[in-house]
Amino acid sequence: MDPGQSRIPVKVHRRVCILRSDDPIIIEEVLSRKKLQNDIAGRLTPSSVLIRPGRTEPIIAELLKLGHTPKIVQRPQS
Amino acid sequence: MIPNSQEIAADWSLRVEAALGRYDGELLDGVATRLLKPRGTLPREEVLDRTIEFFSNPVQVDRRISALDPAAQILLEVAAKSQKTVWFVGNLVEIVLGLGWKDGIGAVVGLLESGLAYPVFQLPTTPSPANEFQEMTTAAPLSQPVQFGNFLHWLSSPGPMGHNLFFVPGVLERMEGKPPLLPDLSKNPHARAPGRDEEDGQQADESEPFEEVIYGAPPFPGVEADGCEWFIRISLLWQKIQKNPLKMTQAGEFFKKDQERLEDSQLVAPIPESNVVVPDLGYWLAESARATGVLQAVDIELQATDFPVSWGKGWTGALRELLHGSFGASGWNPQDGWKPQVPGEPVSNPFPSALAIAFSLLGSIESGSWISPRVIEAWILRNHPWWAGQGVRPSRRKPFLETWLAGIVWPMGLVEMAKDPDGKLLFRLSASGKMLMSGASLSGETRAIPKMLLIQPNLEIMAFRQGLDPARIAKLSMFAVWKAFGPACMLQLTPDSVYRALELGESFESVRAFLDGHSTRPVPQAIIDQIGSWASKRERVVIHTSAMVLEFSSATDLEAALGRGLMAVRLGDRHALVDNEDAVDFRMFRLSGSRDYRVSPEPCIRQGPDGLDLTVDETKSDLLLETELPLLADPVLQKIGGAANRHRITPASMARVRERGWNLEMLEQWFRTRTGESPKSSVKLFFLAKARKSLVIEPRIILQSDEEETTEGLWQWQEFKAVTLERVGPCAISIHPEKVEQAKSMLESVGLKWGGMISQKDP
């Protein structure tokens, strides 16, 4: 880092579960599923939905039922 | 986790360093003196460097081996012949005792003291920017490993990695070509155990029939398996438990429904030409898959994991791991089948040592000779401490070696099998078995026949076994489902199987390249289109199971961070997502808050006096709150110049919460989590108002008294109570509107004065 540059204030959120899609219809579809209401915390940004910790499995299962094939990105091993 | 031989081959020098780091100064000096023979005392760093360097000098390694006691040398011989570098100390002790020596521990300690074997310890973690950042934020102290002063101390408290040691691979390589200490039972089935004196007794009963030793070719030609069987069946098991892992009880037994899955007819179908029935074959497959790393134990589950690296490298490593797994399947043995160890009871499993000795003895017979498993088994029963002696139950003496050799090892292609004139089975090492035992790589790590697939328009794939090897089996297993396996195996392409392959890191292009490269005919275009269609759908939705989200104060800050090289996916104006924390240079940031979502949230909201005003402490808040709060309350003031983030609960916001399906318990839970206290009555009022009985506003005629006692007296007077409606306070009673005159006269009758009626219109 250039010593002349100031440090950027940032808040770090670790080990967050997020669903991301560029298709707003998919985001709406997920948010409107009553079955997933206890698993999804809410919409974080227009293209992302926050999943409650440890609740990804039911969401993946429901997405598969809906005919989607979500790409799962795991935390890489250090 | 205990490393396997492949891992030791890759990182033995790091593991030697890790072990030497645990030796205290005196022990380190002792080992260095025996191994390196320095002229003086060496500093610790130099001992580490020179020890690693030592193993690249075969002449010096040979000298140290020849200086060992015979008992320690024979351990090296068994380890070399079974090509197993990592051992449980108890098994090594049993091998020494089983080969006739009396001091098993002494031989193991001798090897450790010589510096040719080392205890297995956890490797130190590599520092990474993320680790440093975590340490900075959590201030976790780094603990120094505890050192020990002698190997008996280590044996008494081995630590989390248990009593396991490993041989440096270069040492085992030097055992190839050395005169064997193990007897050749094809020449003398009654050979004395090498460590036993003549006076020891324990000689074989000369009347035992050992005519099964046959020199030269047997009357019936030997048969050799193609080696694919277990790789296919383990892959089939891997597919079956992908979505639904096997579960084990605390007693180490599989759950009932998982037992049924392990007894699946496809999985445990008889092995063609093996001539034996393997007891509880499905359980052996599960244990073997765990031992080879295809399945992984996580808490009470056995989960499918990625195929081991050794499968991708060819036959040698994959077969070696499979053979080692067959020595030491923890809950299975060839005598009893599935017999899980009961937790808390002493470990008592002689089979890892007995089978390692048996395989080494098979490798010690004269080239070209065949031997009956009964000869080797009788020798082991005579000498191994588990079976030796008079008090052994008959059930323990049931034959087991023929089942293991014909049912488990023969399908690996490591032994040849033939029948004697009486139809009894005979064995000898196959060419692959001999090469594996010598430590050499098998000729043809991959099958020479590249074109072995026939892809049909109905999405079925026919795979010819002549062209299959572990790498190709693993690859096929990822994107197609095994339907049948015989001389030609049948697989099926499905959306789920293709999706599974993509999840495991494959791509449309890699699947297509594999099919194109191995298909005997051009792959039908419809198949390629179908796979492409399934693959493209996957990219539309991405789920990050454990990402790091960086929340910036403003869009400008996010832009600045991206401009300084932050590798992240932009989620919105102020949020960026990072999957690999190690790739982030945290030095560019000033931390304004940190939250780990696997840890329960701490209260970060303060309720106002009326309970409706909520003030967020932004240093403790999280993203979940950001999505929850707009539901529960309406923003009062946008954050400006560091002002507190305030929200207010309104009847409308509570209506939203109700519509979202929350109940009072959920609302209370949220308040306890986020504010540390229960919601105030005003919040509950807004939330429950709709559910309560409707309220009524109506005029009432109230009799108001100055004294509570007077009101109480009137209320107790039954005749007067008949003209009232209800008592509305300590000094107030509601009078029936049509009985006011009657009430007046009753008051007058007891001498009470009343001040007259106040009109409803009066103030």
> Does the residue A46 lie in any domain?
yes
- Please give the residue of chain A at the shortest CA–CA distance from B128: A78
CB-nearest to B592 from A11, A56, A60 is: A11
**Would the CB atoms of A43 and B582 count as touching at under 8 Å?**
no
Give the HSE-up count for residue B108: Cα atoms under 13 Å, Cβ half-sphere.
26
Residues of B in contact with A50 (CB under 8 A): 623-624, 626-627
- C-alpha torsion angle, residues A7, A8, A12, A16 (rounded to 10): -130
Burial track B42-66 (b if 16+ CB lie within 10 A, e otherwise): beeeebbeebbebbeeeeebeebbe
Query: B540 versus B418: which is more confidently predicted?
Result: B418
Map out the domains of chain B as residue ranges.
Answer: 5-181, 229-438, 453-502+509-538, 548-588, 605-691, 701-749
DSSP state of B677: S
> Does the residue A49 lie in any domain?
yes
**Alpha carbon distance A14, B579 (integer Å):** 10
Give the HSE-up count for residue B673: Cα atoms under 13 Å, Cβ half-sphere.
15
The model's confidence at residue B526, banded by pLDDT at 50, 70 and 90, is: very high
Given a cut of 90, whether residue B247 has pLDDT beyond it is yes
> Does the residue A44 lie in any domain?
yes
How far apart are the CA of B231 and the nearest CA of chain A, in angstroms?
27
Beta bridge partners of B332: B338
For residue B635, how many other CB atoms are within 10 A of its CB? 12
For residue B580, what pLDDT is reported?
82
Residue type, B489: C
Interface subset of B 22-61, CB within 8 angstroms of A: none
The model's confidence at residue B139, banded by pLDDT at 50, 70 and 90, is: very low
Which of B6-10, B388-392, B465-469, B733-737 shows the lowest mean pLDDT across its residues? B388-392
The secondary structure of chain A in percent helix, strand, coil, rounded to multiples of 5, reads 30, 35, 40
Q: Give the 3-state secondary structure of residue B726.
A: strand
B660 contacts chain A (CB < 8 A): yes
How far apart are the CA of B578 and the nearest CA of chain A, in angstroms?
10
Which of B152-156, B484-488, B501-505, B642-646 shows the lowest mean pLDDT across its residues? B642-646
pTM of structure: 0.69
Mean pLDDT of B482-500: 90
Interface subset of B 515-534, CB within 8 angstroms of A: 534
The secondary structure of chain B in percent helix, strand, coil, rounded to multiples of 5, reads 45, 15, 40
Residue type, B59: V
pLDDT digits (tens, 9 = 90+) for B277-320: 999 999 999 999 988 889 988 888 999 998 888 888 888 888 88
Q: What is the number of CB-based contacts under 8 A between chain A and chain B?
A: 205
Mean pLDDT of B416-421: 88
Residues of A in contact with B627 (CB under 8 A): 41-44, 50
B662 contacts chain A (CB < 8 A): no
> Does the residue A47 lie in any domain?
yes
CB-nearest to B544 from A18, A22, A52 is: A18
**Alpha carbon distance B535, B498 (integer Å):** 7
| CA B666 vs CA B300, B614, B616, B632: distances in Å | 31, 18, 20, 12
> Does the residue A10 lie in any domain?
no
Query: B494 versus B317: which is more confidently predicted?
Result: B494
- B358 contacts: CB under 8 Å, gap ≥ 6: B373, B376, B377, B380, B401, B404, B405
* Max Cα–Cα distance, chain A, nearest Å: 53
- Nearest CA among B443, B479, B441, B438 for reference residue B461: B479
Given a cut of 90, whether residue B455 has pLDDT beyond it is yes
Number of domain units in chain A: 1
Q: Tokens 């009101």 sit at which residue?
A: B711
Interface subset of A 19-58, CB within 8 angstroms of B: 19-23, 26, 34, 37, 41-48, 50-54, 56
- Please give the residue of chain B at the shortest CA–CA distance from A17: B545
For residue B191, what pLDDT is reported?
87
Show the domain range for A26.
Answer: 17-65
B639 contacts chain A (CB < 8 A): no
Residues of A in contact with B575 (CB under 8 A): 44-45, 48
Query: B437 versus B492: which is more confidently predicted?
Result: B492
B716 contacts chain A (CB < 8 A): no
B577 contacts chain A (CB < 8 A): yes
- Nearest CA among B355, B395, B347, B353 for reference residue B376: B355
ipTM, interface predicted TM-score of the complex: 0.95
- Please give the residue of chain A at the shortest CA–CA distance from B619: A11
- Nearest CA among B561, B640, B646 for reference residue A12: B561
For residue B723, what pLDDT is reported?
93
B622 contacts chain A (CB < 8 A): yes
Residues of B in contact with A25 (CB under 8 A): none
**Would the CB atoms of A17 and B547 count as touching at under 8 Å?**
yes
| Helices B623-632 & B664-675 angle (0-180, nearest 10) | 130
- Please give the residue of chain B at the shortest CA–CA distance from A74: B545
pLDDT digits (tens, 9 = 90+) for B694-711: 778 888 899 988 889 999
**Alpha carbon distance B69, B142 (integer Å):** 41
A3 contacts chain B (CB < 8 A): no
For residue B762, what pLDDT is reported?
46
Beta bridge partners of A18: A50, B544
| Helices B495-503 & B470-479 angle (0-180, nearest 10) | 120
For residue B759, what pLDDT is reported?
53
The CA-to-CA distance between both ends of chain A, in Å, stands at: 23
For residue B345, what pLDDT is reported?
61
The CA-to-CA distance between both ends of chain B, in Å, stands at: 85
- B9 contacts: CB under 8 Å, gap ≥ 6: B85, B169
For residue B346, what pLDDT is reported?
57
pLDDT digits (tens, 9 = 90+) for B548-593: 999 998 899 998 898 888 888 888 888 999 888 888 888 899 988 8
The model's confidence at residue B643, banded by pLDDT at 50, 70 and 90, is: very low
**Would the CB atoms of A73 and B551 count as touching at under 8 Å?**
no
Going through B281-362 in order, the beta strands assigned E by DSSP cover: 295-298, 301-304, 332-333, 337-338
Q: Is B721 exposed, middle or buried (0-12, 13-18, 19+ CB in 10 A)?
A: middle
**Would the CB atoms of B585 and A1 count as touching at under 8 Å?**
yes
> Does the residue A40 lie in any domain?
yes
pLDDT digits (tens, 9 = 90+) for B77-95: 999 998 889 998 989 999 9
Q: Give the 3-state secondary structure of residue B343.
A: coil
Q: Which strand (E) or helix (H) includes residue B351?
A: helix B351-362
**Would the CB atoms of A12 and B598 count as touching at under 8 Å?**
no
How far apart are the CA of A57 and the nearest CA of chain B, in angstroms?
9
Residues of A in contact with B597 (CB under 8 A): 13-17, 53
Residue type, B166: F
How far apart are the CA of A24 and the nearest CA of chain B, in angstroms?
11
The three state secondary structure string of B428-460 is EECHHHHHHHHCCCCCCCCCCCCCCEEECCCCE
- A1 contacts: CB under 8 Å, gap ≥ 6: B564, B585, B587, B588
Mean pLDDT of chain B: 85
Computed on alpha carbons and rounded to an integer, the radius of gyration of chain A in Å comes to 16
Q: Which strand (E) or helix (H) includes residue B18?
A: helix B5-22
Given a cut of 50, whether residue B642 has pLDDT beyond it is no
Residue type, B456: Q
Residues of B in contact with A41 (CB under 8 A): 623-624, 627-628
CB-nearest to A23 from B137, B540, B572 is: B540
How far apart are the CA of B463 and the nearest CA of chain A, in angstroms?
27
For residue B200, what pLDDT is reported?
59
CB B193 within 8 A of CB B202: yes
